[in-house]
């Protein structure tokens, strides 16, 4: 099979899900995640003016904004790396399609549902053993009852998807398997031989690119490689800093313990606590 474009790149993500010609793929994927009463028949892409504010964020995630013909609003993101206040930013971004529904003049504040859908190439759960492939979040009260069905979050933590081909049972399973393994397919697995996945893989064949698309694709590849190198450097720097801080902390602990040992010996020799503290800095309460 010809080489395929990485769907985790900006170019690949938008080619797969963000073009008018392929919006049926996005509809099919989203319908795995929305409530039955919010199933999408058709949608329109919206201009996205909410650009990330930093170079890191521009490289770390790509997003699409669209509205279903039945009124539901969607923000769909592919996120490459975790950054500070990840959940806060999701909440902040989700307010845009809420505020955009305000009408001039008399308005009764009736809202259409908003979905924030994030495909994550990392685990946001702090405890990896508790990480779930899909986190479904909406507003509930203290009794677990739905307070509002107008704001929904769907976080797809792709590293948590570990199913093999024989273990795929749902259409959502198939989408996750497709996205995670696409670049490694020599042939499309039999279980994925459905029109939606056949269209998806044909869309992402490098050979299908036009001469006009090639420069954008090559630039996207460069940005993806640069970002991968950047992340590796950040991890390496963090490890080096952590190691240095750990050594410094270890030395500090060793020095403190040595002073306490000296204080014990001085006390055994009959020196007063005043003399011991003056010589070592150790106070009586530190020795118990």
pTM over 0.85: no
Starting at the edge strand that comes first in sequence, how are the strands of the sheet with 134-140 ordered?
43-46, 61-68, 73-79, 114-120, 146-157, 134-140
* C-alpha–C-alpha distance, residues 177 and 168, integer Å: 8
* C-alpha–C-alpha distance, residues 256 and 154, integer Å: 49
* C-alpha–C-alpha distance, residues 172 and 164, integer Å: 14
> From its phi and psi, is residue 258 left (phi > 0), alpha (psi between -120 and 50) or beta?
alpha
Question: Among candidates 49, 51, 33, 31, which has minimal Cα distance to 41?
Answer: 31
| Widest Cα–Cα separation across the chain | 89
* C-alpha–C-alpha distance, residues 64 and 224, integer Å: 18
CB 67 within 8 A of CB 44: yes
String of DSSP letters for 165-221: GGG--SHHHHHHHHHHHGGG-SS--GGG-SHHHHHHHHHTBGGG--TTTHHHHHHHH
The answer for residues whose C-beta is within 8 angstroms of residue 155's C-beta and 6 or more apart is: 118, 120, 124, 134, 135, 137
Instruction: Say which DSSP state 112 is in.
Output: -
What is the residue-level pLDDT of the chain in tens, covering all 288 positions?
A: 458 888 888 888 999 999 898 999 999 999 999 999 999 999 999 887 665 555 556 566 788 999 999 999 999 999 887 777 788 889 999 999 999 998 888 888 999 999 999 999 888 776 665 678 999 999 999 998 999 999 999 999 998 999 999 999 999 999 999 999 988 888 899 999 999 999 999 988 887 788 888 888 888 777 777 776 665 665 556 545 555 555 555 555 666 777 777 777 665 555 556 666 766 777 777 776
């Amino acid at each position: 099979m010809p080489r395929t474009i990485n769907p985790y790149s900006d170019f690949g993500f938008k080619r797969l899900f963000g073009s008018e010609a392929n919006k049926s793929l996005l509809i099919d994927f989203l319908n795995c995640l929305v409530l039955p009463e919010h199933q999408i028949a058709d949608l329109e892409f919206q201009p996205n003016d909410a650009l990330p504010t930093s170079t890191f964020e521009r490289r770390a995630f790509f997003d699409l904004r669209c509205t279903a013909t039945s009124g539901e609003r969607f923000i769909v993101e592919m996120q490459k790396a975790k950054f500070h206040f990840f959940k806060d930013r999701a909440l902040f971004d989700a307010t845009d399609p809420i505020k955009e529904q305000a009408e001039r003049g008399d308005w009764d504040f009736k809202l259409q549902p908003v979905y924030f859908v994030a495909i994550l190439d990392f685990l946001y759960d702090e405890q990896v053993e508790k990480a779930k492939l899909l986190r479904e979040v909406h507003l509930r009260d203290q009794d677990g009852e739905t307070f509002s069905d107008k704001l929904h979050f769907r976080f797809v933590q792709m590293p948590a998807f570990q199913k093999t081909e024989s273990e795929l049972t749902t259409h959502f399973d198939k989408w996750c398997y497709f996205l995670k393994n696409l670049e490694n397919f020599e042939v499309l697995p039999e279980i994925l031989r459905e029109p939606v996945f056949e269209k998806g893989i044909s869309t992402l064949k490098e050979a299908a690119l036009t001469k006009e698309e090639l420069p954008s694709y090559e630039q996207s590849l460069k940005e993806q490689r640069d970002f991968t190198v950047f992340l590796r450097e950040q991890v390496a720097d963090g490890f080096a800093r952590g190691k240095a801080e750990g050594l410094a902390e270890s030395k500090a602990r060793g020095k403190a313990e040595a002073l306490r040992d000296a204080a014990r010996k001085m006390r055994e020799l009959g020196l007063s606590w005043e003399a011991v503290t003056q010589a070592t800095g150790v106070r009586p309460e530190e020795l118990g």
